[in-house]
Chain A
């Protein structure tokens, strides 16, 4: 098991810059999520760690050893592909034992090991079957079996649940997490699904356009996004943005929107010009006494909660309210924001302004 560190890693494909100077550290035994929209460079980053792509510049360390230019076969890692990539001309048992046979392990030992893995994954009864006729879940288990059979230094998984049905995905994600905890192996997991990332990950890196936007534990990233992109990408519905022109001085604890003073966590940075007031839907309360006004344009019923869409002078926002609250479309209402949870962004750069609340996180 190993710590993985990447430093200033960059990857160009011709003139296209897929990954721009990424740096982060994955601690030993961590379940680490690389999250981002498609084309953001997360898979390329993973493939560079695995040795399937060589970085244009920068270093990759596995267990303290620089492996950036080493081929995949010498890195002692395992990779689970989105499409599973089970060898179609071999049966389940052969697929799982393939990495062992490459090391020239004696047959009896290989068999013992494969049986043991099959037992863990609950696939003993299909060991002699061809992989062609297996269900998605069984293929996934075989792919996992092939990965864990070798006790590698780290597991790399590229959207391993992406090919499964939604219903089964839930089940498999729990199984994966349980397997990780049992093996206590460093796992790097690529996904574009923010829920999956929040649910399974010990730590998350959010990437966009080849750049690491934020790095941290799920709760920090959710509560204190470092950029507008992260705020938008994580959470469903995403964080609301109220754009305004104004200024915030150092140590200010309120801002002026439409001549209404709104409380914010005490600011560290000062800024002037185009700013964005960011607030999560669950931190907006419909309160007629509040000075800031909005008009309800739609409601979506979600069982325990409802999502209320409102027009405000600073743009449309969505609030989460209890579904028992009587809210009518067309109604004018006051809006109160939980002042402890507000993040201000510089609208031009998209970066969050530092405050006493998000200090140390971003």
Chain B
């Protein structure tokens, strides 16, 4: 697999507070990468750096480099970045009653010139993307009236219309029930494009990601397969809780459980008895 993205010695500060420190990793074409770590580890900040979203923030200083196809990301225009990266955010700020079609048309923006109008090819692209996420029948529905899972699927479909090579998802399973969590992540896996996403649920990350990046306090602690990253010692150190690792009997994926110290002590006492 060819390397799409190379992150080298990336550090990021906001108002002198270090958010990311000396991050190094590569992303190869077609990989599904999960970024995991506790709250405040720098997961979303890393995604912001990758999509040049740091511009929206103030008092930001960046060092190191992000190379996209061998060229520094800062040399790409905002439009070119949008042609390579599609972002699915954790939440949306829609106030007005947008239809699903309105949201889907936004995905065409990076490929359109100023006065261009939508053609039949654009409409076909929108229909195809919606059918891939199983929401063709919702084209004229109100986006705000869809369930959280359906909204995520529409935003993923919008990312497909954007025709980007890398799909970035920020906590795609947040606020979703178990059924939609699996549905959304399975969908992401079936798209056959490069995916980088932040995931809170480590077992979901293990199940759906080929590779995991474990962040803590802005540092990259471990980069590897779920089996390599989700080790008891590593996770206990990062999350500050005793952890047990095992293999899920049905999926065969690594599985982790966290306990409070008191719970473990209680369990040991009961075993001894």
- To the question of whether A and B form a pair in one complex, the answer is no
Identify the A interface with B (CB < 8 A): none
